[in-house]
């Protein structure tokens, strides 16, 4: 039987994905009619990313079996009450690798104080020897698909790594802090990495109170979601010097407006949501594998829990 698979994502994605998706479905033994313009009531599977504007009315898709998000973060989809079928989010190997590279690079930048050497070629010989990684504390909020991969990679560089998540985790060389021990974790973090999804429980998790629990001079990396941070509280902590620096990849409003204070702040680095990206070749394999799983009654990969919102 041929499955009707609709691709509802920005037009330039279609050029990147259509060939990879067709190939991956073929390899998975699936017969699919992949198009951008299937009528809603003919669609079996919907490959989807929100494009802003009004929410999609999923109730028009009356034979839909599942929605397959091309994004890892699904905060814009889980709130859509018309979605009644399973939703999977995207974690492909390319996205995982990209995030590991971004996090390791920025952790090393902070650890080795690379900026100091790049920006102060002053002619003054002033050696400042950094500690070894084993003496540097890096903490992760979120130990999911991406958080675990990044925490393990940073631990493999010899950093002293700890992490926090909703449920208990056992990760080699990563000290786990349970749900009620956030303050205990924060007080150890010289570098804090945010890899939480945006949900009701995580919005503004970095606020005046939690920032105060970090040691003076802590640095923050946020490749998770902008609204994890109370921006006013972070700017105040940066201005007071309590937080030494923040590297922010994600923001409440994207693109970050030109007059946003983060752009001009001397102790903030803005990166334009490039920490990681769904890669068509590996993402197409994930999509095809999940369609195969749905069709054969197996549990899909990265199924979103509508109750927790991630």
Q: List residues near ligand NDP by CB under 6 A.
A: 72-73, 91, 95, 142-147, 165-167, 195-199, 201-202, 223-225, 249-250, 273, 275-276, 310
Nearest distance, CB of residue 202 and ligand NDP, angstroms = 5
The catalytic position among 76, 242, 273, 292 is: 273
Helix axes 11-27, 280-295, angle to 10 degrees: 50
The pair of three-digit structure tokens given for residue 194, joined into one six-digit string: 């945010």
Is the Cβ of residue 143 or residue 191 nearer to ligand NDP in the bound state?
A: 143
Nearest distance, CB of residue 273 and ligand NDP, angstroms = 6
Long-range CB contacts for residues 250-258, cutoff 8 Å, separation at least 24: 250/222, 250/223, 250/224, 250/225, 250/226, 250/275, 251/226, 252/226, 252/227, 253/226, 254/226
Is the Cβ of residue 3 or residue 256 nearer to ligand NDP in the bound state?
A: 256
The β-bridge partners of 163 are 140, 176
Q: In what order do the strands lie in the sheet with 3-8?
A: 32-35, 3-8, 45-48, 66-69, 87-88
Question: Closest residue to ligand NDP, Cβ-based?
Answer: 144
292 is catalytic: no
Is the Cβ of residue 34 or residue 153 nearer to ligand NDP in the bound state?
A: 153
Nearest distance, CB of residue 91 and ligand NDP, angstroms = 5
- For 47, phi then psi, to 5°, come to -95, 125
116 is catalytic: no
Question: What is the distance between the alpha carbons of residues 193 and 191, in angstroms, rounded to a whole number?
Answer: 7
Is the Cβ of residue 212 or residue 301 nearer to ligand NDP in the bound state?
A: 301
Question: What is the distance between the alpha carbons of residues 268 and 272, in angstroms, rounded to a whole number?
Answer: 13
Question: What is the distance between the alpha carbons of residues 96 and 51, in angstroms, rounded to a whole number?
Answer: 23
Nearest distance, CB of residue 148 and ligand NDP, angstroms = 7
Is the Cα dihedral 68, 72, 78, 80 positive or negative?
Answer: negative
Is the Cβ of residue 137 or residue 247 nearer to ligand NDP in the bound state?
A: 247
Is the Cβ of residue 191 or residue 250 nearer to ligand NDP in the bound state?
A: 250
The catalytic position among 106, 219, 225, 245 is: 225
Question: What is the distance between the alpha carbons of residues 163 and 150, in angstroms, rounded to a whole number?
Answer: 11
Nearest distance, CB of residue 162 and ligand NDP, angstroms = 13
The pair of three-digit structure tokens given for residue 12, joined into one six-digit string: 């330039």
The pair of three-digit structure tokens given for residue 161, joined into one six-digit string: 């790594």
Nearest distance, CB of residue 40 and ligand NDP, angstroms = 27
Active site residues: 225, 273
């Amino acid at each position: 039987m041929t499955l009707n698979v609709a691709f509802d994502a920005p037009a330039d994605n279609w050029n990147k994905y259509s060939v990879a998706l067709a190939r991956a479905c073929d390899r998975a033994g699936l017969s699919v009619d992949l198009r951008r313009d299937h009528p809603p009531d003919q669609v079996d599977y919907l490959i989807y990313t929100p494009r802003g504007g009004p929410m999609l009315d999923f109730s028009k898709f009356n034979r839909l079996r599942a929605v397959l998000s091309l994004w890892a973060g699904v905060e814009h989809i889980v709130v859509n009450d018309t979605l009644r079928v399973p939703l999977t989010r995207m974690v492909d190997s390319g996205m995982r690798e990209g995030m590991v590279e971004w996090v390791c690079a920025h952790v090393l930048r902070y650890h080795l104080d690379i900026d100091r050497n790049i920006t102060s070629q002053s002619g003054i010989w002033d050696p400042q020897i950094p500690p070894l990684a084993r003496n540097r504390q890096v903490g992760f909020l979120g130990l999911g698909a991406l958080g675990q991969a990044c925490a393990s990679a940073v631990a493999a560089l010899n950093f002293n790594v700890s992490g926090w998540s909703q449920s208990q985790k056992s990760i080699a060389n990563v000290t786990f802090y349970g749900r009620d021990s956030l303050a205990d974790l924060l007080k150890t973090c010289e570098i804090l990495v945010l890899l939480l999804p945006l949900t009701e429980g995580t919005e503004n998790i970095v606020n005046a109170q939690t920032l105060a629990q970090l040691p003076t001079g802590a640095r923050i990396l946020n490749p998770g979601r902008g609204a994890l941070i109370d921006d006013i509280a972070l700017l105040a902590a940066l201005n007071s010097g309590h937080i030494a620096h923040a590297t922010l990849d994600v923001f409440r409003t994207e693109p970050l407006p030109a007059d946003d204070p983060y752009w001009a702040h001397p102790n903030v680095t803005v990166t334009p949501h490039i920490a990681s990206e769904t890669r068509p070749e590996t993402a197409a394999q994930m999509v095809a594998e999940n369609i195969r799983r749905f069709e054969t009654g197996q549990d899909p990969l990265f199924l979103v829990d509508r109750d927790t919102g991630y």
